[in-house]
Structure 1
């Protein structure tokens, strides 16, 4: 069930397929192997969880330079952008990013708080595929998994001993703004090397991502989207034998976001640099003494800091000095994590997974109240029963101990899969969710010209009860033709959900508050077609979010219990095999998002008012061409509908808003990239 355990198993898969045996490779692709939440790597059809995968081909054909580009046309996923701080947050099936667990090879990624900055600090060139599990995974993955899990799997071993070198350069406009290789636009470079021989593996990657910002409607030096300079470093080493394997991986991030101020009458400007550094270490291993027993372990340590550097730029002298009267601070977040599991196949119809999780989260800095630490210990058990042929049941229990909150003594879950026929599968699940507040929500304080947010030490932990079910129909499953249709639904009830709101003590200050009740529900339909040179998907979701004002019908009048928002997406890939080329179209329509708010009339009467964020279309078109086995080019256009911001009719759009509009993108952009891949074998 745990990715780090299954990753090791997945690494073994290529060696079971003879090099050059294309039939076997196609067979593996047909099975669409998944590892997230599984006992061991297995086909998606046999999994008790409903998992969506984004494979390496789709990642490559997107021409993506960050994970957000890959996910922004996925069903149920929506991003929000904070232009003041230069960060983005993710929503999954109506729930915010704090409740979405981000994993890198099965190990949790650390963030400052509610926004998932870690998604933008992973080298896209090292990713093999992404697996998305919707619904609570609190029993298996613990805190921050109420809405689901996004598991990012990196590239591992190849079929045989080899030495390979890769390089990539890609240039992209920012709307209509571009200056080659520097200044405006997006400029990405990457180089990597990998060597493996007789069980040993060494690899390294360095990537530079430069975004020159986007002017938009701003004037002078000020940018609507702030410039960003990013360096990403990845180093890994591993060894594998017949019965055990171990590997170490280092991910380093050095990132600076630049806020450029207006030039005043004295020809001076006040600038702010937001400097992030992330050092992420992973050590993982597996030992399999026999076919029935398997042990795995993972140990990680993260040191993540964000520093604010305020300076004054004097254009008369050309000198930059540190601003003595401005905020200069640094916040540091460290996390240590250990997970150990044992998987035992007791009988053909019974397998047992047991494990322990230990995590320690610490923070310090000028904006942190004190130097708080949260320790959490967990023990989980999850047997899998094969009752009869075609029926699998996986109950689970997680026992928790949190040093700050009285965690529930046990968190249960139940997942199952029933093969109604050879072509039709039913999956269902229930889980009890629990999330203790993050350090930022408890102790962080932030204040500048656009923000005034303080943590709340009196927050309660969140609880949830979640149910989901899906029907998967596969009428055709041949090598040359596959057709899949999946229809699913979900219903989640949250107690004491943590969100931002106005401080009761000061209306000008925002803080974190508990909402007594919140719900999400919805339906999803996804269809896939793989036929000869065509890969196509077409799907849609209809997501309902709870309207809290419906509880106050006597005071505010009748309003619906849920407000609904639709989504439609489609991906189309056509390969010209003889030409070594392909064309791809990725599209998503995100419907309007309605919400109810209270308004006060001139006569001081309070009523409910319907507001909404406008819907929008997002589409990318890419073309690729391979010239030989070493060189390929990719080009195309992103954001074909030229979306920049969305109209929002709400009175207030939150502490990180930009007025009456919601920023989404910097408009239609065009890109061209060159990829070089050399391999000794």
Structure 2
């Protein structure tokens, strides 16, 4: 769905009248979910594209920076871990996949799912393609609500391309050149060796010094709850390299190395008072987390027998997260009793291959393929690896799939497909989909998508074993995959004015998603209190959305609004939830001044109140349900980008979160085993300003 109100266009047509014939230049080509790369207008799927221009207007360094303005997407930061996850249509990151060049990306907690958006760097990204709805046929399990496919740049028109940049950014009102704010340095070097070979390398360093707000940092010596940070500091280093070959058989090899250090400083300070000397030697128990990711990706694609297309990808990926626990003596600023342990681990071998055009039919293109996914690792922190043996497990899948694109007429096409999934853990699973497109004579485009896709249980749900004197939380190896069914309908029409110098595109979309056998943590015993994951609940969401994109010469304006309802049937608590509704709206305005070589951009997104039923105990000790509310809030960003020195030097100046959002009040949070429910959520770190300077040395 092209709903996000960016100045990027999933379809940009330029029509010219010459010799009484129409010439149509389709500029945007997409690959996500396609049998062959094709324009968005020809695609059976509705694909939303965020292009490089939008990424640069937002000065976006990671995926969280750019998705925050999208409708139906909510970025959920976890300030206690430093991670940011994404929620799509009310479903969390377990229900959709993040891909890089059609390959799911490994992360601390999964393969393609549950990724930390702040760990996905965008410096080599050409565009981001988003398809919403069940994509299980094309991309396997856990693609229930959709996929996000990040397409990297693999060529350049220049002989040499050398692009260094620096970016300085405040974190709220906190900034200096040493230990406050956000400091980013990057350099990209690309080279066309000859007409067939291209190579590049990109290195980026991102130093995010955290958000103190009311806190006093790691060297605060008093036990008043003010030590540490509101938002954890982190340091990231990211190295990428690419070799690309263009010939009868195209090939590329990509390598990525990523590491991240996250520092968590305890708010509890031990004063260690010595009555004999009347002195204190305050200390605290702190933790450092170290993530390390390595990705190898080899792709081969081309033709044989002059017509049959093949595309084969092989990937080995690994992500390891270590924890370093120690005692920090605050006054001498030294660490003692340091212990380092491997905390989480994923090692993955992935391969995917497709064949199409192997049957010569004029109006039918059939694609068949396989996907092999071998994951070895151990489960999340809930498995308590620091107090016992690690829980090593493998989750393997072996899939085959077939899809056919049928062009019934020049205006009508449809695409059925099915995938058989075999795993080492579950019974055979089936994903199926049916997509159709019809273009009316007046240019109205109609697309309908119906799909079914499973979600397989994750490591927590299968293998958790966290039992001590206060807790008894266990996984369940007998869990069955959830089954998600979704339907989407899109109506889109583009109008041209002023001798085709102006355009207006409007779109109306609706959707319905149903998830059965939803896995929840349930009470299996009251005395003593015990919890276990079980297939017990249902989830339903539906909504409608309307968007408009207006382009007039160098002026662009986009506007969108969506209404979404969510219902959860909480059988685990003998409670049926009615539909609860929320509204989102966004708008953006861009203006290009060619004479000044300047681009102006404004982005706004309104998040309406969000409701959720939560359970709590009343004065009689009985469990009851009430409707909680997360108050509305808005994001507002602005930037100005200007080119100097014959467009070799780009300078961007802007602001994020101009409305100064930090904590948002809520009554929709439940308390933990030893804590009361939070009365507010930290969703932003306040109004921030950035300056980005980039030099493009191309020759």
Which TM-score applies when normalising by structure 1?
0.89
Q: Which residue number corresponds to residue 298 of structure 2?
A: 283
- C-alpha distance in 2, partners of 1:551/1:310? 37
- C-alpha distance in 2, partners of 1:59/1:421? 35
Cα deviation for residue 328 of structure 1 reads 3.9
Q: Which residue number corresponds to residue 209 of structure 2?
A: 212
Q: Which residue number corresponds to residue 272 of structure 1?
A: 287
Per-residue CA deviation, residues 560-607 of structure 1 (Å, 9 max, x unaligned), is: 621011100111111111100111011100111111234443345654
- C-alpha distance in 2, partners of 1:126/1:605? 55
Residue from 293, 307, 331 that aligns with 2:344: 331
**Does the Cα contact within 8 Å between 1:470 and 1:486 map onto a contact in 2?**
yes
| SS at structure 2 position matched to 1:578 | helix
Residue from 453, 456, 463 that aligns with 1:436: 456
- Larger CA deviation: 575-584 vs 31-40: 31-40
C-alpha spacing 1:117/1:550, structure 2 compared with 1 (3 Å): closer
Q: Which residue number corresponds to residue 223 of structure 2?
A: none
1:675 and 2:694 matched: yes
Q: Which residue number corresponds to residue 566 of structure 2?
A: 545
1:64 and 2:78 matched: no
Cα deviation for residue 660 of structure 1 reads 2.1
- C-alpha distance in 2, partners of 1:312/1:192? 40
Q: CA RMSD in A?
A: 2.7
1:200 and 2:205 matched: no
Cα deviation for residue 443 of structure 1 reads 2.2
**Does the Cα contact within 8 Å between 1:641 and 1:668 map onto a contact in 2?**
yes
- C-alpha distance in 1, partners of 2:73/2:519? 20
Equivalent residues in 2 for 1:42-441, closer than 5 Å: 42-113=38-109, 116-159=114-157, 162-180=159-177, 182-196=178-192, 197-219=194-216, 220=220, 221-241=227-247, 243-262=248-267, 263-265=269-271, 266-289=281-304, 292-323=307-338, 328-344=341-357, 346-364=360-378, 366=385, 370-408=391-429, 410-441=430-461
- C-alpha distance in 2, partners of 1:529/1:605? 55
- C-alpha distance in 2, partners of 1:210/1:194? 24
Cα deviation for residue 218 of structure 1 reads 2.6
Residue from 467, 492, 497 that aligns with 2:487: 467
Residue from 647, 650, 663 that aligns with 2:682: 663
1:638 and 2:656 matched: yes
**Does the Cα contact within 8 Å between 1:232 and 1:253 map onto a contact in 2?**
yes
- C-alpha distance in 2, partners of 1:272/1:346? 61
**Does the Cα contact within 8 Å between 1:550 and 1:560 map onto a contact in 2?**
no
Equivalent residues in 2 for 1:613-624, closer than 5 Å: 613-624=630-641
C-alpha spacing 1:505/1:355, structure 2 compared with 1 (3 Å): farther
Per-residue CA deviation, residues 423-481 of structure 1 (Å, 9 max, x unaligned), is: 20110011111121123432256799999965433322111221111111112287632
**Does the Cα contact within 8 Å between 2:145 and 2:486 map onto a contact in 1?**
no
- C-alpha distance in 2, partners of 1:282/1:254? 18
- C-alpha distance in 2, partners of 1:580/1:147? 40
- C-alpha distance in 2, partners of 1:335/1:67? 22
- C-alpha distance in 1, partners of 2:325/2:30? 46
1:520 and 2:521 matched: no
**Does the Cα contact within 8 Å between 1:394 and 1:415 map onto a contact in 2?**
yes
Q: Which residue number corresponds to residue 592 of structure 1?
A: 609
**Does the Cα contact within 8 Å between 1:112 and 1:440 map onto a contact in 2?**
no
**Does the Cα contact within 8 Å between 1:250 and 1:280 map onto a contact in 2?**
yes
Q: Which residue number corresponds to residue 458 of structure 1?
A: 478
Per-residue CA deviation, residues 73-117 of structure 1 (Å, 9 max, x unaligned), is: 101100112222211111111211111110001000123337733
- C-alpha distance in 1, partners of 2:416/2:648? 49
**Does the Cα contact within 8 Å between 1:382 and 1:396 map onto a contact in 2?**
yes
| SS at structure 1 position matched to 2:106 | coil
C-alpha spacing 1:653/1:103, structure 2 compared with 1 (3 Å): farther
- Larger CA deviation: 608-617 vs 433-442: 433-442
Structure 1: where are the runs of 5+ without partners?
Answer: 1-25
| SS at structure 2 position matched to 1:303 | strand
**Does the Cα contact within 8 Å between 2:537 and 2:569 map onto a contact in 1?**
no
**Does the Cα contact within 8 Å between 1:82 and 1:657 map onto a contact in 2?**
no
- C-alpha distance in 1, partners of 2:139/2:655? 38
**Does the Cα contact within 8 Å between 2:491 and 2:508 map onto a contact in 1?**
yes
Q: Which residue number corresponds to residue 13 of structure 2?
A: none
**Does the Cα contact within 8 Å between 1:488 and 1:525 map onto a contact in 2?**
yes
- C-alpha distance in 1, partners of 2:29/2:356? 19
**Does the Cα contact within 8 Å between 1:27 and 1:479 map onto a contact in 2?**
no
Q: Which residue number corresponds to residue 599 of structure 2?
A: 582
Per-residue CA deviation, residues 505-525 of structure 1 (Å, 9 max, x unaligned), is: 788777644343111111111
- C-alpha distance in 2, partners of 1:496/1:513? 9
Q: Which residue number corresponds to residue 23 of structure 1?
A: none
Cα deviation for residue 322 of structure 1 reads 3.1
**Does the Cα contact within 8 Å between 2:479 and 2:535 map onto a contact in 1?**
yes
**Does the Cα contact within 8 Å between 1:465 and 1:492 map onto a contact in 2?**
yes
- C-alpha distance in 2, partners of 1:576/1:657? 54
**Does the Cα contact within 8 Å between 1:113 and 1:441 map onto a contact in 2?**
no
In the comparison of the two structures, how many residue pairs are matched? 644
C-alpha spacing 1:153/1:508, structure 2 compared with 1 (3 Å): farther
**Does the Cα contact within 8 Å between 1:109 and 1:118 map onto a contact in 2?**
no
C-alpha spacing 1:217/1:317, structure 2 compared with 1 (3 Å): closer
Which TM-score applies when normalising by structure 2?
0.87
- C-alpha distance in 1, partners of 2:599/2:467? 49
C-alpha spacing 1:591/1:575, structure 2 compared with 1 (3 Å): same
